[in-house]
Structure 1
Amino acid sequence: MSARRPSPRYDPTRRRLLAAALALPGALFLPTGARADLVATVPRIKPSIVAVGTYQRTRSPAFQFRGTGFVVGDGQLVATNAHVLPERLDTANMEALVIVLPGDGQTGTVRTASVAATDRGRDLAVLKLGAGPALPALRLAASGGVREGQEIAFTGFPIGNVLGMTPVTHRGIVSAITPIGIPQANARDLNPALVRRLANDVFRVYQLDATAYPGNSGSPLYDPASGAVLGVLNMVFVKGTKESVLSDPSGISYAIPVEHLHRLLGEVR
């Protein structure tokens, strides 16, 4: 007589496993690893995220959003990108540089700011807040130590003009640490500014396997577990036209390493 395998419904081991799965239906969907870390970290990051723009009472809308910033240092400083700042302010008509604390996402607290330091070569700026209480500051990681393949996250205001002042978090990995000036395929595509940068001022940035959008400029790039800031998001690779950033994002973004922000903060008095 040949041996027969027991029917699954009479297999006691299988029945115990099935009962355990039915008793804990959410067990298979619990976040693990970096995802679990991020769930705990995001609430600590969001109070430090601010919108950067200009404010003019007689204008509609009075606030014009330009990018994201985040609080650093003593709680009276905000880090962002240099390209987020306006080229000039219409001071004759009372236009002012401001940051907005998002609040409930519909309304927010407006505070004036001034430029404390800039490094346009590395696309960084530090703002000094006007009168008001200190805000919760993010901790900056030590220089170096970031590795390719490392999990990262960033929080900011993607398409803030449309989606409003609600901080949004994206995650991904550091896919490469690469020079900021990348030689073009054809020599005629090189411009004088790029040639000078390649020759005299090459520095490395983090290429990210993560999707960012207009408005994310100035967002803090941070470690999902500790929340320590690793860099400042500053640009997105565009596959076609600027409009395609929204309709067909490349999923490739870049961030300036935090060591350059450390250096710029050292210039703030």
Structure 2
Amino acid sequence: MIRLSCTLLLLTTLLGAQEPPKSAPTEDATIQRFRAHAKPRVVTQRAPLGAEEKNTIRRFKEAKPSVVYVSAIAPAQDPRTLDITKVPTGTGTGFVWDEWGHVVTNHHVITVEEGGRRVRDVDEVEVTLADGKTYKGRVIGTSFALDIAVLQVFAPLEAMRPIPIGRSHDLQVGQSVMAIGNPFGLDHSLTKGVISALGRGIDTGYNTRILNAIQTDAAVNPGNSGGPLLDSTGRLVGMNTAIAAATGASVGIGFAIPVDTLNDIVPKLIARDRLEPPRMGFVALLAYEAHRVFGITRGLVVKEVDADSPAGRAGLRPLEVDADGRVKTMGDILLAYQGRVIENEGQFLAMLELEPPADEVVFDVLREGQVIKVTLRLKGSKAVPTSL
């Protein structure tokens, strides 16, 4: 018995004692153990900024004070109190055109729509500068055909820094460009890309086409409308206007109105409000009014006629209403102009902008259930930009 015990002791000594296995640490224990190592990471040193990066940063800083946030303001009635208040109806981007406080943006930025139809343009806007200060502005010039609007901003002139103007006729596909705007309300956002194509035609909401548009892959989204497209030297080469996307967001195909077009049209809008169609002497119902009141979806309903004007002398008949505003006699409905169908007042004004009227123009007119032709003789009529 003693010999067996000695033998077991010897074997145990030679083979070594077998300790029981240790259990793995718990998750909580692991977490607590590693908390002790919490400290800031060592910063990896970067190489100096490249020349292209430095140029982009510089051009953005230079251009930022010239880019503004535009909010269209329209009156609205509170259904409970019936009080008239002013509410924002849309937002976009603009840029300072000159040292006299003029800002350029897209016409559709200052348009009020209901159910996809243009109701009217706003008269008043709020413009927020890069320093965050907001000022009142007014729409002083519009082009339906080219989707351009000019605003007068009542800010201190020293706060309005005009954007440098470039040229667009000598642009080349592949050139670097930068877009600055307020996509989805994110003010002064910068995107970068190249000119993807030149000479594109893009449709407006008034059945017109803007020719020679610039196509770019710099990301533009809702809210970028009216913002500047800059070349690599920071000069304005276009105004971002449209995107080609069914989703309504950027897919790398954006379009800009070329700066050569802006440099031709904007001074005319500042000087004369519109591109001076000759005075025809009638006022039409807005399309949404004609649709709401009479169910008319196409053409112009003549609302008022100046007797001493081409329209008055040609015998155009206006809408007649009684003292309570009820319709007594339907006015003439202008269906076509010079053989082309009239969709709405915006599209009609766009036609006049793109093609100056001849001395005589012919309307197809719906009157008392019959379509007749009425000729307006415009020769010698003075341009009056506030009426048709």
TM-score of the alignment, normalized to the shorter chain, above 0.5: yes
Give the distance between the partners of 1:56 and 1:215, measured in 2 at CA.
18
Alpha-carbon distance, 1:75 to partner: 4.3
Task: Tell me the equivalent position of 1:10.
Answer: none
TM-score by length of 2: 0.49
Structure 2 match to 1:211: 219
Match of 2:68 in 1: 50
Larger Rg: 2
Q: List alignment gaps of at least 5 residues for structure 1.
A: 1-23, 183-192
The residue identity in structure 2 corresponding to 1:77 is H
Contact 1:153 1:170 in 2 (8 A): yes
The residue aligned with 1:116 is 140
Question: As a proportion of its length, which structure holds more strand?
Answer: 2
1:120 Cα deviation (Å)? 2.1
- Structure 2: 5+ residue runs without aligned partners? 1-43, 76-82, 113-119, 272-388
SS of the residue corresponding to residue 122 of structure 1 reads coil
- What is the match of residue 58 of structure 2? 40
The alpha-carbon deviation at position 60 of structure 1 amounts to 9.7
Name the CA distance, whole Å, in 2 between partners of 1:112 and 1:121: 26
What is the Cα deviation at residue 78 of structure 1? 0.4
Question: Deviation digits for residues 66-118 of structure 1, max 9, x if unmatched?
Answer: 10001011241101111111243688xxxx32211243xxxx32212122222
Cα distance in 2, alignment partners of residues 154 and 59 from structure 1: 37
Structure 2 match to 1:255: 256
Aligned-residue CA RMSD in angstroms? 2.9
- Output one character per residue of 1:19-56: Cα deviation in whole Å (capped at 9) or x when no partner: xxxxx9422x62233x3211111111111111111347
Contact 2:73–2:87 (CA under 8 A) maintained in structure 1: yes
Whole-angstrom distance in 1 between the partners of 2:122 and 2:141: 20
CA distance in 1, matches of 2:122, 2:253: 35
Does structure 2 conserve the Cα–Cα contact (< 8 Å) formed by 1:75 and 1:136? Answer: no
> For residues 70 and 178 of structure 1, what CA distance do their matches in structure 2 show?
23
Question: Separation in 2 of the partners of 1:89 and 1:208?
Answer: 29
8 Å CA contact retained: 2:191, 2:218:
yes
Higher relative contact order (CA 8 A, sep 6+): 1
Partner Cα distance (1:236, 1:254) in 2 = 6
User: 2:155, 2:55 → 1: CA distance?
Assistant: 35
**Residues of 1 paired with 2:253 and 2:122: CA distance?**
35
**CA 1:237–1:89 in 2, change beyond 3 Å: closer, same or farther?**
closer
- Normalized per residue, the structure richer in helix is 1
Q: 1:181 & 1:79 partners in 2: Cα distance?
A: 19
Q: How many Å separate the matches in 1 of 2:238 and 2:149? A: 13
Shift of 1:127: 1.0
State the shift of 1:62 in Å: 5.5
Aligned-partner Cα distance in 2 for 1:266–1:131: 20
Q: Which residue of 2 aligns with 1:139?
A: 164
Aligned partners of 2:238, 2:98: CA distance in 1, in Å? 15
